[in-house]
């Protein structure tokens, strides 16, 4: 569920704009009937020009109402679309709302604020101003400058973050999710470079997602001017979630893990670990994007929904 409040007017207006035309509503309805469609298929189904479909998909993608990923095609690659949310809630009176309904706690973690790692080259990191390490030397990840990292990459291993575990007294957690921008890690970039990326929460495996590539098809919207065009440019916004029934990636079930398996009441923090399993079929590495790189101005966002 996407929850918007009047306290975040920029995001509220962006989503409202994305939902303001019948064509974009029709695209969302179409993706309910057929969960994954490319832009050409959307254009054919709605009987509109491909250019019109592409421009409307872009608006929905920027509002994070749909997700897109580049997949290999007979000629080059194609953009495949899927829904990101089943519900959108717009809260125009936050005080009254939170007094009478579920509570949402959201924490954003800068990607440089990791607490542990076990990685192998290729690896490195950069801030918005400069490269922070000598490439392919994992020991440099211990340097204090790593706190300012806005892009991190590694080929094998994992990296771990810890979020504050704020469970209000007398409440029951209904869902837990983590949203972040990421892609594979290839030399320079390679749009066709699959990587099986796995997430663990409190040391419990939630599920894996196969990233189709290390993306360089367009320059990242947020990348600083000094970042080379020949390097990784952007990722895809993905969401791992756990509720009382299952674990999922972008609402697609990946495991039978439930919130009770995470033993959230036992620790004052929630551990989030992401990496490449040693036996993964596709060991294509990871790029993690912060607020100053890629296409989405965010770090790793944890959302806890309470009742």
Regarding whether 230 and 207 lie in a shared domain, the answer is: yes
Yes or no: say if 177 and 240 are a contact pair by the CB < 8 Å rule: yes
**Residue 94 maps to a domain:** no
What does the pLDDT look like over 60-100, one tens digit per residue?
999 989 988 888 777 777 889 998 888 888 877 765 555 55
- pLDDT computed for residue 161 by the predictor: 98
SS3 228: coil
Alpha carbon of 101 to those of 2, 91, 203: distances in Å? Answer: 15, 11, 31
pLDDT category of residue 307 using cuts at 50, 70 and 90: confident
Q: What are phi and psi of 73, to 5 degrees?
A: -130, 175
Regarding whether 120 and 78 lie in a shared domain, the answer is: no
Query: Exposure pattern of 228-267 as b/e (b: 16+ CB <10 Å)?
Result: eeebbbbbbbbbbbbbeebbbbbeeebbebebebbebeee
Please say whether the dihedral angle defined by the alpha carbons of residues 295, 296, 299 and 303, taken in this order, is positive or negative.
Answer: negative
- pLDDT computed for residue 290 by the predictor: 97
**Domain end marker among 88, 120, 138:** 88
**Cis bond upstream, residue 268 (ω within 30):** no
What does the pLDDT look like over 24-50, one tens digit per residue?
999 999 998 888 899 999 999 999 999
Regarding whether 270 and 169 lie in a shared domain, the answer is: yes
Regarding whether 289 and 160 lie in a shared domain, the answer is: yes
**Residue 93 maps to a domain:** no
Rounded to an integer, the average pLDDT of 153-171 is: 90
Regarding whether 128 and 263 lie in a shared domain, the answer is: yes
**Residue 95 maps to a domain:** no
Regarding whether 220 and 262 lie in a shared domain, the answer is: yes
For the chain, how many structural domains are there in total?
2
Regarding whether 275 and 149 lie in a shared domain, the answer is: yes
**Whole-structure pTM value:** 0.74
Regarding whether 207 and 149 lie in a shared domain, the answer is: yes
Domain that holds residue 83: 2-88
Regarding whether 277 and 129 lie in a shared domain, the answer is: yes
**Domain end marker among 42, 63, 88:** 88
Is residue 101 pLDDT above 70, yes or no? Answer: no
Regarding whether 126 and 82 lie in a shared domain, the answer is: no
What CATH number does residue 32 fall under? 1.10.10.10
**Residue 245 maps to a domain:** yes
Query: If you search the block for the tokens 């973690």, which residue do you land on?
Result: 109
Taking the C-alpha atoms of residue 123 and residue 136, their distance in angstroms, rounded to an integer, is: 5
**Residue 258 maps to a domain:** yes
- pLDDT computed for residue 100 by the predictor: 52
Regarding whether 80 and 6 lie in a shared domain, the answer is: yes
What CATH number does residue 227 fall under? 2.60.120.260
Regarding whether 107 and 83 lie in a shared domain, the answer is: no
């Amino acid at each position: 569920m996407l929850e918007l409040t009047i306290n975040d007017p920029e995001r509220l207006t962006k989503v409202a704009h994305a939902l303001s035309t019948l064509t974009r509503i029709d695209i969302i309805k179409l993706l309910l009937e057929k969960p994954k469609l490319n832009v050409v298929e959307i254009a054919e189904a709605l009987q509109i020009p491909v250019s019109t479909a592409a421009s409307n998909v872009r608006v929905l993608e920027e509002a994070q109402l749909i997700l897109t990923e580049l997949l290999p095609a007979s000629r080059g690659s194609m953009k495949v679309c899927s829904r990101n949310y089943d519900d959108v809630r717009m809260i125009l009176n936050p005080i009254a709302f939170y007094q009478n309904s579920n509570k949402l706690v959201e924490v954003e973690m800068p990607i440089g604020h990791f607490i542990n790692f076990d990685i192998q080259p290729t690896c490195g990191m950069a801030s918005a101003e400069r490269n922070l390490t000598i490439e392919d030397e994992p020991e440099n990840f211990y340097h204090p400058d790593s706190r300012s990292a806005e892009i991190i990459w590694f080929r094998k291993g994992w990296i771990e973050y810890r979020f504050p575990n704020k469970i209000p007294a007398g409440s029951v957690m209904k869902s837990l999710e983590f949203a972040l921008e990421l892609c594979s890690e290839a030399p320079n970039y390679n749009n066709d470079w699959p990587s099986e990326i796995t997430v663990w929460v409190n040391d419990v495996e939630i599920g894996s997602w196969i990233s189709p590539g290390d993306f360089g098809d367009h320059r990242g919207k947020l990348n600083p001017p000094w970042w080379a065009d020949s390097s990784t440019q952007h990722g895809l916004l993905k969401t791992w979630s756990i509720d009382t029934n299952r674990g999922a990636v972008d609402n697609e079930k990946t495991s039978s893990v439930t919130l009770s398996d995470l033993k959230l009441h036992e620790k004052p923090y929630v551990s989030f670990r992401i990496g490449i399993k040693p036996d993964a079929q596709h060991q294509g590495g990871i790029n993690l994007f912060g607020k100053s790189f890629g296409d989405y101005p965010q770090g790793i966002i944890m959302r806890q929904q309470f009742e």
